[in-house]
Every structure is written in C-alpha cells, then in structure tokens.
Amino acid sequence: MLIEQIQLENGCALGLRFEMQKYPLLVIRAEKGFLVCGYLNVSAAETLGDTAAKVKGVQSFEDMLKAQVVEVTRFARELGVETGMTGREALERMF
C-alpha cells in the first residue's frame, strides 16, 4: 500500500494506492469527501451517506486529478461536484 499527500489549492488530500492483480485500486480523500477509481461503487457511498465522486481508466493519482468525473453522490452534488469536471476540481470542492 502506498500513502501519499496530494497538495491542492484548498488543502492537502490523502492518496491511498493498493496494488491489485492487474490495476491499482486508488482513493484520494479530501476533508469532506473522496475521489475513487473504477474499482469502487459510488452507489454504496450514496447509501452510506458519503460524499464521493468516481473517475475511470486511471492508474495513478495524477491520472485521477486529470480524469473526468463520471459519477457522483447527491452529497457531492450539494458541494458543487458534477460529472464532467476533472478529479482535481471535484476534490477542491470537497475541502
């Protein structure tokens, strides 16, 4: 497992990387929510009341920051996170 601090404009996020069999499982945690890769289920986050956004086709934290958000929870939408924005933009709204 790799843990990395990711500096953003509004604060410092925490990146978690787990090496799986073929592709990494990636999560970046901000103060009020998190950005996940395609491995994780945003519907579960919605059910649990979490603020989450999802990006796909990524293999690094930098990829996640550049990728377009493809799914969000309603709690993320309340913070201004929308599909189509970059992962970086989504995380900035989660601080």
DSSP letter assigned to residue 20: -
2-93 under CATH 3.10.129.10, yes or no? no
For residue 50, the tally of other CB atoms under 10 A from its CB is 15
Global pTM value = 0.96
Report d(CA 13, CA 48) in Å as an integer: 21
DSSP letter assigned to residue 57: S
- So what's the pLDDT on residue 55? 98
- So what's the pLDDT on residue 67? 98
Give domain limits for the chain.
2-93
- The pLDDT tens digits for 32-86 are 999 999 999 999 999 999 999 999 999 999 999 999 999 999 999 999 999 999 9
Tokens of 40: 């994780």
- So what's the pLDDT on residue 70? 98
What mean pLDDT do residues 12-34 have? 97
Q: Which residues are CB-neighbours of 76 under 8 A, at least 6 positions away?
A: 33, 51, 52, 53, 90, 93, 94
What mean pLDDT do residues 14-35 have? 97
What mean pLDDT do residues 15-22 have? 96
